[in-house]
Amino acid sequence: MKQALLFLRSLIFYVGYVLVTLIIAPLLLVLFWLFPRSKRHLFGTLWCGIILQWSRLVCGIRFQVYGKENIPDHPVVVLANHQSEWETVFIYRYLAPVSPILKKELLSIPVYGWAMRLINPIAIDRSRRHNAGRSILDQGRQRLDSGYSVMIFPEGTRADDGKVGNFSRGGAKLALATRAAVLPIAHNAGHFWPARRFLKFPGNIEVHIGSPIQTANREASELTAEVEAWIRQHVVDNRAES
């Protein structure tokens, strides 16, 4: 009975998810010319806000944020652990304007991908790792210069609940090259919104936002190790509750 209820709630969530996307994406395509580039992210912020509220209403997924005062009023390189889609939605909603890094193939999806192009993502070809790294540096610099923060998941892929993968140095290299501060974020979203699973589970996601880390006179490997250690320390492991 419990699994059936979880399935029903998750199904209702995804129906709403698709409907909201089908409304907001075309709206952006139609109205984007009325908004300057610096304001187009408001469509993405609206979509993310609705999805967060919808997941709370239907699936019972709440969240508590620690360290809100650490969010700066200037562009930063956001480095966070990656467990699900939830943290992408959260970061975009609360740190906008921010440019996410995504696979370039997503931009070819009719309507959805076309709308994504308009909110300044950083599109990379993951099959060509060297070029992907260069794209992050080049496009990341452009976004930061334009007043956008850059969202990077240094693990490269989603990890299981309670686990943190090894960090790449790409985010640290971008921060060093642009002299931008690094904003570390840790969370346990994977316990309630698991990657690659249909079911969503009720509960309270903990999000920890650290103090911005200045990057002057730092090395990429040292900076990466510091951020990774901080995130590992603040990730809450809820697997024992399952």
The pLDDT value given to residue 119: 76
How far, CA to CA in Å, does 31 sit from each of 10, 27, 155?
31, 6, 36
- How far apart, in whole angstroms, are the C-alpha atoms of residue 63 and residue 156? 24
Write down all domains in the chain, each with its CATH number in brackets.
2-241 (3.40.1130)
Q: For residue 226, what pLDDT band results from cuts at 50, 70 and 90? A: very high
Mean pLDDT of the 144-168 span: 90
Give the lowest-confidence range in 86-95, 134-143, 209-218.
134-143
Confidence label for 109 from pLDDT (cuts 50, 70 and 90): confident
| Mean pLDDT in residue range 167-180 | 94
Instruction: Quickly count: other Cβ atoms within 10 Å of residue 104's Cβ.
Output: 16
Mean pLDDT calculated for residue range 208-216: 96
CB atoms within 10 A of CB 166: 10
| Residue 42, both tokens | 């408001």
Q: Could you tell me the pTM of the whole model?
A: 0.90
Mean pLDDT of 140-153: 94
